[in-house]
Every structure is written in C-alpha cells, then in structure tokens.
Chain A
C-alpha cells in the first residue's frame, strides 16, 4: 500500500526546508573544519592557479616529434584500452551466459558467477592495479590485466541483464524442434543481444581509455605515465601538451564510437 503524503501548510513546509538547509550547512561547515578545507582560501590563494597556468602556457607541442617515446606511449595507451576491452568484454560475455537463467540451467553455477561478478565490481581499480603490478611487473601488461578485470565486473552485469531480458519465445521454439542448449544460445539468444553487446563494447572502450590514462600513474605505462613524470619534474609545458593530447584522444574516440554505435543500433 502506498500512502500519499499529506499536503502541508506552506509555513510548515518552509520551516522544514529551513531546518534541513541549516542542518546540511552546519554539517558541511563541520566537515570542512575536520578536513582543514577552507573554501575562502580558494579565492584568496587563487593566484597560485594563475601562476601554474602561466607556467603551462604555451603548451610545448614539439615533444610529439622531438621525443620519440610520446607517440609510442600514446599507442600503448590505445592498445591497453583495446586489449582490455576485447579480453574483458569477451570474458564478460562468457560470464553473462553462465550467469543468466535463460542459458544456464544449474542454479549453483549461476549464483557462483553472479557472486564473482559482484565481488569484482566492489574491488576498486587501485587494488587491482597494485596486485597486477606485483604479479606481472610494471608496464602496460599490468594495465591490460587491470582493465580486463574491471571490464568483466561492470559489463558482466550489464550483459547478464541483457540476456535475462532477451525474448524466450524464439529459444523455446527452436528448443522444441530439438536444438541443443548450445544451439539455442547460438541461434536464438545471441542474435538478439549481439547489437547491444557491440554497442557496449564501444562504450567500454571509451571508459577503458580514460582509465588506461589514469592507470599509467600507478605503473601502467602509456601517456598517463609520461604526464605523471612531466608533472613530477616540473616540465609543465610538456605536461600541458600531453594533457591536450589525451583530451583530444578521448574526445575523438568518443565521437568515433558514438558514430559507430548509431550505425550499429
């Protein structure tokens, strides 16, 4: 039973709103004091931001051809995102087929795979990359593994839902004429969900590219690592150029994947 809330008098309503507002602002002030975060400082000390921006401009785009490693690290970042998406997405599809009640008759397997996916989603990226760096050493391969694992977690759930929501009537139809479970999955479920899977792959590539740039800082290599190094040794103009490169890269992939998605769906 859903109760409709009683209509309150304006005076009561305003009092309530005022109380909530007061409490929230008190809490925010308290929290700011706890963190030592002074918003006023942001405005009085704003010249530091200008100083940094002054040091960063103009960006030194010439590093693209004077420094050989930049191009290869851009390629590395793109490769990390691509491999992570491909491996993670493929494994996510496998997990999804094992986790959906439409394709997996054994309840135990379903629950196990679902729990695994849920666990993977809870583990933060930081933990995954730290563990992967220990396992395979510094370098883009650790980044690829991290991206694979995170992609399985996020997209495994999405794919499971897609398979769960697929129409069961075609599956039943070909099951009734003697198709095996494998054939049912191949000829009735897969055609229904494949377009959305491919669209999600493109989406995953977008996300993974961003994450791949971030992972560079923790030892994943690629353009993120170059940016981190440039900031560390105060080569701000190089850093600005790298920043522009990565932004352009992300914007471009977003546009391309948007275009491809529209074409597929």
Chain B
C-alpha cells in the first residue's frame, strides 16, 4: 500500500460524477419540495391512514364487478384494434417491404406517438368525445402504435428475405407477399407482443379510468375523493386481483406461444 492509494488522482474519476449527482439531487430536491421531515411525517400519516382503509366494504363488492369487466373489455378492445393498427404502421415502417418515403414518415409517426403518454391522449380525446369508455378505447388503441409499431417493424425487418423473394419470383403482388410471406413469419411475435401490451393496457385502463374512461379506475378514484375509504379498499382489492390475474394469464400464454412457435 503506497501513498498513491489515497491520492486524489485515484478517486478523481469517481468524484466528478458523484459531485454532479449530489448537486443535481440537492437542486431537484429543492424544486420538488422533497425533505426527510416531509417523508417521515408522510410515512406516519400514511401508516395511520392505512388503518382507515380496513376493513373492506364487502357489500360494495358486487357493484365492482361491472366496472372491472368494463376495464377488461376496454383493454381487450384496445389491444385488438391497436395490434391491427400497429401492424399497418409497422408494414409501412419496415425497410424490406415498404417505400423509402413511407418508411421515414411512418417511423416518425411511431416515434412521436411513443413520446405522447396515454394519459395526455385521453385528455384530448375526452375534450372531443366526452367522458366514457369510447375515449378510453381510442386512447389505448393509439397508445399501442408507439410501442407495438416499433416492435413489429423491427420484427418484420428481421424476417427471412428468401421467402419474400421466392414468393415475388412466382409473381405475387405486394398484398400477397404480405399475407403469405410476411405475416406467417411474424405471427408468433405479434401474439407475444400483443399479450404483453394487454398487460400494460389493463394497468393503463385503470389509470385512464380516473380521468374519464370509466371502469374500475373511476370507482377507485371517486371512492377516494368522496372519502369512502372502505369502498375504495374493495375497489383496490378488485384492481389488484385484475392486474395479478391478467399478468399470470398472459405470462402463461406467452410461454406457451414461445414453446409452440404459434398458436395453431
């Protein structure tokens, strides 16, 4: 062990990033009004609040079934429409089957959509279509484009070009190439990604419900706002069950699809 071990030079590489990190933390902490006192008192308050939640209001349980089904249905419809829409965008965005100008246009749309959070999309759609499941379905459908469109486009770009070439060689047009050459190859991935998106959509439909899409998210939010905490706890349990079960189901199905290649 020499003196150099403790010299500044040895640690210089770490001091600079750490210093910046500490500085940023302090500044952002000020901007957010974050403080340890606030956190401690918040923890105490939150803990005592959890006591207000118990016990759940089991009588409200049957009333929660309808909204829960609505949330599932919103997520399902949005996943279906969103997958179809994303497929169109992905076809346009894939380098191997699309034109150049169409490709950059579609990629740009996908990138812009990805930078729009679903909750902002629904804010705008609520202004157009009013409250209800319609803007919810539409917002989630549009929300699929950003993620699924990119994943599908990448999947299409990775397919075996020989198949497309041989189909084109015997005189297939663009539509036939897509139906018989592209779609069968990407189908397993499409199903896997769509199921993954369904999981996300369930969570999002809970969140969007509070902004005006209805469903279990609305029940939860309104129960909280009206200080009916026992009812809110029931809604919370239903929500947790919903998310947990869909996660399990989609995980199971994804594994199955992966094992079999595709659901026949």
B28 touches A83 (CB 8 A): yes
- A35's nearest neighbour on chain B, judged by CB, is B133
B124 touches A52 (CB 8 A): yes
The answer to whether the Cβ of B210 comes within 8 Å of any Cβ in the partner chain is yes
A213 touches B117 (CB 8 A): yes
B115 touches A126 (CB 8 A): no
B221 touches A130 (CB 8 A): yes
* Minimum distance in angstroms from B36 CB to a CB of chain A: 11
B128 touches A49 (CB 8 A): yes
The answer to whether the Cβ of A117 comes within 8 Å of any Cβ in the partner chain is no
Contact residues, A158-181 vs B (CB, 8 A): none
Q: A122-B243, A130-B220, A247-B112 are in contact. Are A135 and B31 (CB under 8 A)?
A: no
The answer to whether the Cβ of A197 comes within 8 Å of any Cβ in the partner chain is no
A124 touches B221 (CB 8 A): no
User: Which of A5, A36, A79, A224 is packed against the most chain B CB atoms within 10 Å?
Assistant: A79
Bound CA span A79–B28, Å:
5
Residues of B in contact with A, size category: 35 or more
Given contacts A82-B25, A122-B247, A145-B42, 14 further A-B contacts (CB under 8 A): A35-B134, A52-B124, A122-B240, A123-B243, A132-B46, A134-B49, A210-B117, A214-B117, A214-B118, A214-B120, A218-B210, A224-B120, A243-B124, A246-B115
Residues on B with C-beta less than 8 A from A122 are: 240, 243-244, 247
- B239's nearest neighbour on chain A, judged by CB, is A124
A217 touches B211 (CB 8 A): yes
User: Which of B21, B25, B42 is packed against the most chain A CB atoms within 10 Å?
Assistant: B42
Among the stretches A26-34, A105-113, A183-191, the one at the interface with B is A26-34
- B137's nearest neighbour on chain A, judged by CB, is A37
- A86's nearest neighbour on chain B, judged by CB, is B25
A126 touches B45 (CB 8 A): no
Residues on A with C-beta less than 8 A from B148 are: none
Residues on A with C-beta less than 8 A from B127 are: 52, 231, 236
- 8 A-B residue pairs with Cβ-Cβ distance under 8 Å, sorted by A, are A36-B134, A130-B220, A131-B49, A136-B41, A144-B34, A214-B118, A227-B120, A239-B124
Bound CA span A37–B125, Å:
14
* B interface: dominant SS: helix
Binary CB contact string for chain B from 30 to 52 against chain A (1 if under 8 A, 0 otherwise): 01111100110111011001000
The answer to whether the Cβ of A127 comes within 8 Å of any Cβ in the partner chain is yes
The answer to whether the Cβ of B77 comes within 8 Å of any Cβ in the partner chain is yes
B80 touches A28 (CB 8 A): yes
B46 touches A131 (CB 8 A): yes
10 closest Cβ pairs, A-B complex: A79-B28, A135-B46, A136-B42, A250-B115, A214-B119, A140-B32, A135-B42, A79-B31, A35-B133, A124-B206
- A37's nearest neighbour on chain B, judged by CB, is B134
Bound CA span A218–B217, Å:
12
Contact residues, A84-136 vs B (CB, 8 A): 86, 122-127, 130-132, 134-136
* Minimum distance in angstroms from B236 CB to a CB of chain A: 6
Binary CB contact string for chain B from 210 to 227 against chain A (1 if under 8 A, 0 otherwise): 110000010011001000
Bound CA span A141–B29, Å:
9
Residues on A with C-beta less than 8 A from B137 are: 35, 37
Residues on B with C-beta less than 8 A from A32 are: 77
The answer to whether the Cβ of A254 comes within 8 Å of any Cβ in the partner chain is yes
The answer to whether the Cβ of B129 comes within 8 Å of any Cβ in the partner chain is yes
- A125's nearest neighbour on chain B, judged by CB, is B207
Among the stretches B4-12, B68-76, B98-106, B165-173, the one at the interface with A is B68-76
Contact of B73 among A35, A131, A217 (CB under 8 A): A35
The answer to whether the Cβ of B111 comes within 8 Å of any Cβ in the partner chain is yes
